[in-house]
Amino acid sequence: MRNPLGKTTAGRDSAGMEWRDEGLLIALRPHGEASAIVEIFTLGHGRHAGVVRGGGSRKMAATLQPGTQLAVVWRARLDDHLGAFTVEPLQSRAGLMEDRLALLGLGAVCAMLRLALPERAPAPGLWQPTLGLLAAMEAGAADWPLAYLRWELLLLEETGFGLDLSRCAVTGARDDLAYVSPRSGRAVSRAGAGDWAPRLLPLPVAMLGQGPADRAEVMQGLAITGHFLDRGWQPVLNGRSLPEARTRLVAALARQAGTAEGALG
């Protein structure tokens, strides 16, 4: 059997299920003394959990760090079993450990993917942008917070809560878009907002893909995505707030915005 991404998969037969894919480790917890249960965001199979035998060993510790890109083989007797992963490292993200902000970014990416993606539902549209974001963080690119903001916009879209920033919801105009409606997630122009402007969320031009963004604009953008993520994901969040890892990243970026000025991209 072949999945749409062309990776080989085994059907349900006496040998059980097996597939190979590429993935990003997003969570890990110990399982017994020597093993670990990992959650991997895979290219062709979405967020997928499985046991890594020996995953609790010191030998595997460097490989099983959040953010590590892995070549994985998943095997189980039946498709609905938890199954076991065999993993091989493709790319380590150890370079991020020296950069406090990037490390917070990595934590936020992993936590958001874990929360947002339904298990075993492929999200191929997120794969390349996620790798690109992590690569930008690792390279120390100054504009990665803006890339993170755009990644959150994409995450909203992939989970069915995408914003419509193409035209004004009131006038239909494509120019001078300055606000976002906190209810509909649609852009509103300055003229269309009128007296309602104080009730709308300010829309930074960086979210329209226009020009550079300073840190304050990134913060404005994260306030918008945070609002819609929080609202859209409530059935999953169940009254809780967005992941602590994202809160920490936003707080760190806000502190930076308070102390430093400068173009991010």
Partner 1 sequence: MTETPRDIEHLIDLMARLPGLGPRSARRAVLLLLKKRGSVMEPLARAMAQVAQSARECTICGNIGAGEICAICADPARETGEICVVEDVADLWAMERGGAFKGRYHVLGGTLSPLDAVGPDELRIPELLTRVQQEGQREVILALNATVDGQTTAHYIAEALEPSGVEVSSLARGVPVGGELDYLDDGTIGAALRARRKL
In the complex, the residues that contact partner 1 under the rule CB under 8 A are 27, 29, 33, 61-63, 65-67, 89, 91-98, 100, 103-104, 106-107, 111, 114, 243-245, 248
Q: Which is nearer to partner 1, 108 or 213 (CB)?
A: 108
Q: How far is the CB of 110 from partner 1 (least distance, A)?
A: 8
- Tally of CA atoms within 13 A in the half-sphere of 147 that contains its CB: 23
Q: Which is nearer to partner 1, 81 or 100 (CB)?
A: 100
Q: How far is the CB of 105 from partner 1 (least distance, A)?
A: 11
Q: Which is nearer to partner 1, 14 or 259 (CB)?
A: 259
Q: How far is the CB of 139 from partner 1 (least distance, A)?
A: 12
Q: Distances from the Cα of 151 to the Cαs of 125, 126, 144, 229, in angstroms? A: 11, 8, 10, 12
Q: How far is the CB of 60 from partner 1 (least distance, A)?
A: 10
Q: How far is the CB of 124 from partner 1 (least distance, A)?
A: 25
Q: How far is the CB of 216 from partner 1 (least distance, A)?
A: 21
The residue length of the chain stands at: 265
Q: Distances from the Cα of 46 to the Cαs of 21, 113, 126, in angstroms? A: 10, 10, 10
Q: Which is nearer to partner 1, 61 or 208 (CB)?
A: 61
Q: Which is nearer to partner 1, 104 or 169 (CB)?
A: 104
Q: Which is nearer to partner 1, 65 or 171 (CB)?
A: 65
